[in-house]
Structure 1
Amino acid sequence: MIQVNELTLNIPDTKKPRVVIIGGGFGGVNLAKKLKGKDFQVVMFDRHNYHGFWPLLYQVATAGLEPDAIAEPLRKLFDKEYEDFHFRQVRVTSINPATKTVSTIVGDISYDFVVIATGTKPNYFGNEQIKKYAFPLKQIPEALNLRSQLLQSFEQANMINDPELRQSLLNFVIVGGGPTGVELAGALAEMRRHVLPNDYPGMDFSKMKIILVEGMDRVLPPMDPKSSQKTREYLEEIGVELKLNTLVESYDGQLVTFKGGEQIRSHTLIWAAGVSGAQIPGLPPEASERGRYLVNLYNQVVGFPDIFAIGDIALMRSEKYPNGHPGVAQPAIQQGRHLAKNLYRIIRKEPLEPFEYFDKGSLAIIGRNRAVADLPKNLHLSGFIAWVAWLFVHIYYLIGFRNKLVVLSNWIYKFFTYENGTRIIIRPFIRKDDLAGQEFIKKYDVD
């Protein structure tokens, strides 16, 4: 087995300004694409070798899409035309502003400019028990874990006579009423109505519970109250149970306890309740706030003119956005493209231009023909028109023609057949301390 100390970054020296981009998400990819040319050496680090389209991650989790339909290899995005671009699949361990170096697990590299585009990670608000047992949904491996858990729950419920245990397997608790939670709840409701009764004809899926928990008084809090109310009506219409103004106090893998004492048995709690910035050690505490790096209007981290942050990890305050920009793809895309222009201005010794966010709107889907949209000029859509808009926007922003074609064909197939086409347990998910699950695997010879 190759040891870490035997590896090296193997990046050539250069006399050009070196831009180190940490993160291959929406911000990092759009920045790197705009730096195409002969003026910079661009080095990108990411723990994964692919760029993922995370707004569709819930469809991977609910067996609607395969992982490679929403992901594209980062190396494929930057072909030979991108001169002096270097990608390394490696974890960054720290940034040292004094020596102007970025440290990774296999070595260090100097930089002229470093751009932090690491996005976010789940925020469990210090509750280690929930962190241990809940299912997050931020990365493809997590979506595959959740997909296995969902399908295994149906398989086990189909073979259990104990009604209480069967019900606990059919209780699915989603914590967080934002877009991820709402869209996931809608997808599960679609499966319950159209897919699962055909797969398991002997089971009564009217007893399957989908419980959406939100700490505030409405779902989709960032969107317009009209859209929130319409979303609530859609969710109730398709049989999703809403618990508003409700917080989860604990979860031990089998029992969910809400603040106030109410409890429900469930083997699946999905955590979509909050995120925090995926920060990198090295910058002083005063450079960040609430888990995000404080940046000026040029995306420079406050106090460090050669260190930039873009996307969800950046906290840029303005009169219109006193708490920073919304945590969606568009700010990252726009900041990445804008920062590329400013980096060119820096090497040309031209004044920088401040970033101005153009809000293209927000959308959320709640199952077939049900969606809501908040668009510019205070325009609000719902129903079929919003659903079509959601489909078009997500196809448009998918990276790669193949991915667009695969996703579109899957959606067309599903529209006419009411089928989720990938209900395969590729790798069983069993918690290490789940003795009952381990016994099930052993007893039924599931490898």
Structure 2
Amino acid sequence: MSQEQSSSGAVTARVVIVGAGFGGLATAKALAGSEVAVTLIDQHNYHLFVPLLYQVATAALSPADIAEPIRHILSGAPNVNVVMGRVTGIDQGARQVLLADGSGIAYDRLVIATGSTSTYFGHDAWAPHAASLKSLEEARTIRTRVLQAFERAERTQDPAERARLMTIVVVGGGPTGVEMAGSIAELAHHALARDFRHIDPTTARVILVEAGPRLLTAFPEALAAYALGSLERLGVSVMTGQAVQDIDAEGVTLAGRVVPAATVIWGAGVRASPAAGWLGVTPDRNGRIPVEPDLSVTGCPDVFALGDTALIRDAAGEPLPGLAQVAQQQGSHLGRALREALTQGKPLPSFTFQNRGNAAIVGRHAAIFDFGRGRRLKGFPAWLLWAAVHVVLLVDFAQRTRVSLQWLWRYLTYRRGARLITAPPAR
């Protein structure tokens, strides 16, 4: 059987969504309340607001501020069933999603929205020494390493070791690296400034390394130049044209020179989840699954892919970027389209992305916004807009209230209340 009976006795199509990120959650919300039986699968029980993950890593917010239980979000959607489980494969012949516990979940339509992971470009040995930022666990790891380094610097009597402990290197000059470097500089130079007795946190070095000729290549050069100036005013040392040669427990090697650093943060690259292997399709070099204009996977009937997992091009032939707004728009579009197709027999329309602007925050008063077609914003107005947009995008009213109040408190006092070390002390 490929369909089930609804409570009213009608035959109901089954849609299975893998991944409760922006794309998967938007799809489920668009299908909520319909005569479609929806199953949403995720390996976690929460939806994570990834754009603010760096603020957890730098003690500005707590995990609960940016994560919300999936069941709570969809509690008003009786036709949506939530399953916590890890997907290991897809049996297209049997139309089943295979889970790690050995069970399978049948589907009539399958939506894959499994996001992306960090890539070290073939240098996986760097991973233990350079934490990436794609999950709450990684955010906590970064926060712990940064704070532990200052604690160890407080106790050491060796000036060279103290300098190494108080050096943080961020690799990658995209939005993640820029936002992380600026936030760590503010943490060290302001929030921690009066917390220690034997070290001066304001002397900490924050180094941002980018292999390319400039930062933020997805933004116009004028905005990237403004971001560079803002980072330098925060005390961040920016090194462009510097490819990383090695990362180990002692620090980073650049152009044959070792930069001693106790904390290295990786923000240099992402790769799509392994979903292409589940389907047996050939991905692009970043692991993305080619999809048709209606978001269906090329060569895979009744299977769709969204967000960072999908390769879809805009009118100019360029791949759509891996942004939350892209995944969210795709999910809302596909959910509505599937709802109409399965309940009214309508054909699936093509997806069109509406660019609402690309943004990056650079510090306390500074941000950049690129709306396209020459429309740009920078400085304090851009920072206010960035804050407003991110608060609105949070899924829960309580989260919006908490984050707004914490940002206001930080702005007025320079303090950060989430400076907790939750891992065993380093040896």
What TM-score, normalized by structure 1, do the two folds share? 0.90
Q: Does 1:330 align with 2:318?
A: no
Q: Does 1:200 align with 2:196?
A: yes
Question: Structure 1: how far apart are the matches of 2:128 and 2:120?
Answer: 10
Equivalent in the alignment of 1:30: 26
Q: Residues 272-311 of structure 1, C-alpha deviation per residue, up to 9 Å, x if partnerless?
A: 1000001233212435553001001110010113000011
Question: Structure 1: how far apart are the matches of 2:210 and 2:79?
Answer: 47
Three-state SS of the structure 2 residue aligned to 1:242 is: strand
State which of 410, 417, 421 in structure 2 corresponds to 1:421: 417
Q: Give aligned pairs, total.
A: 418
Deviation at 1:84, TM superposition (A): 2.3
State which of 130, 147, 152 in structure 2 corresponds to 1:151: 147
Structure 2 letter corresponding to 1:346: A
Q: Does 1:66 align with 2:48?
A: no
State which of 271, 290, 295 in structure 1 corresponds to 2:291: 295
Equivalent in the alignment of 1:130: 126
Deviation at 1:190, TM superposition (A): 1.0
Q: Does 1:226 align with 2:197?
A: no
State which of 260, 264, 284 in structure 2 corresponds to 1:265: 260
Task: Work out whether residues 35 and 79 of structure 2, in 8 Å CA contact, stay in contact via their aligned partners in 1.
Answer: no
State which of 174, 178, 181 in structure 2 corresponds to 1:182: 178
Task: Work out whether residues 190 and 202 of structure 2, in 8 Å CA contact, stay in contact via their aligned partners in 1.
Answer: no
Q: Residues 95-132 of structure 1, C-alpha deviation per residue, up to 9 Å, x if partnerless?
A: 12122111001201111011000000001111021123
Structure 2 letter corresponding to 1:212: L
Unaligned runs of 5+ in 1: 1-11, 430-436, 439-447
Equivalent in the alignment of 1:83: 78
Deviation at 1:135, TM superposition (A): 0.7
Structure 2 letter corresponding to 1:379: R
Structure 2 letter corresponding to 1:123: T
Equivalent in the alignment of 2:89: 94
Equivalent in the alignment of 1:445: none
Structure 1 letter corresponding to 2:341: I
Three-state SS of the structure 2 residue aligned to 1:197 is: coil
Task: Work out whether residues 197 and 203 of structure 1, in 8 Å CA contact, stay in contact via their aligned partners in 2.
Answer: no
Structure 2 letter corresponding to 1:190: E
Deviation at 1:207, TM superposition (A): 3.2
Task: Work out whether residues 114 and 307 of structure 1, in 8 Å CA contact, stay in contact via their aligned partners in 2.
Answer: yes
Task: Work out whether residues 154 and 197 of structure 2, in 8 Å CA contact, stay in contact via their aligned partners in 1.
Answer: no
Q: Does 1:383 align with 2:407?
A: no
Identity %: 38
RMSD: 1.6
Question: Structure 1: how far apart are the matches of 2:332 and 2:418?
Answer: 36
Equivalent in the alignment of 1:364: 360
Q: Does 1:235 align with 2:231?
A: yes
In structure 2, the CA distance between the partners of 1:383 and 1:38, relative to structure 1 (3 Å rule), is closer
Equivalent in the alignment of 1:278: 273
Three-state SS of the structure 1 residue aligned to 2:127 is: helix
Question: Structure 1: how far apart are the matches of 2:251 and 2:70?
Answer: 41
Equivalent in the alignment of 2:400: 404
Three-state SS of the structure 1 residue aligned to 2:279 is: coil
Aligned pairs (5 A) from 1:212-223: 212-223=208-219
Q: Residues 409-436 of structure 1, C-alpha deviation per residue, up to 9 Å, x if partnerless?
A: 101111111101121213336xxxxxxx
Task: Work out whether residues 21 and 117 of structure 1, in 8 Å CA contact, stay in contact via their aligned partners in 2.
Answer: yes
Equivalent in the alignment of 1:306: 302
Question: Structure 1: how far apart are the matches of 2:349 and 2:71?
Answer: 30
Deviation at 1:38, TM superposition (A): 3.5
Q: Residues 52-93 of structure 1, C-alpha deviation per residue, up to 9 Å, x if partnerless?
A: 1111111111111110000110000111x3122111111000
Three-state SS of the structure 2 residue aligned to 1:343 is: helix
Question: Structure 1: how far apart are the matches of 2:25 and 2:271?
Answer: 21
Equivalent in the alignment of 1:9: none
Deviation at 1:376, TM superposition (A): 4.2
Unaligned runs of 5+ in 2: none
Task: Work out whether residues 171 and 265 of structure 2, in 8 Å CA contact, stay in contact via their aligned partners in 1.
Answer: yes
What TM-score, normalized by structure 2, do the two folds share? 0.94
Structure 1 letter corresponding to 2:308: D
Three-state SS of the structure 2 residue aligned to 1:236 is: helix
Question: Structure 1: how far apart are the matches of 2:370 and 2:38?
Answer: 37
Which stretch shifts more, 128-137 or 332-341? 128-137
Task: Work out whether residues 193 and 202 of structure 2, in 8 Å CA contact, stay in contact via their aligned partners in 1.
Answer: no
Q: Does 1:342 align with 2:337?
A: yes
Question: Structure 1: how far apart are the matches of 2:355 and 2:230?
Answer: 25
In structure 2, the CA distance between the partners of 1:380 and 1:201, relative to structure 1 (3 Å rule), is farther
Q: Does 1:209 align with 2:205?
A: yes
Question: Structure 2: how far apart are the matches of 1:69 and 1:318?
Answer: 34
Three-state SS of the structure 2 residue aligned to 1:103 is: strand
Equivalent in the alignment of 2:100: 105
Question: Structure 2: how far apart are the matches of 1:293 and 1:352?
Answer: 19
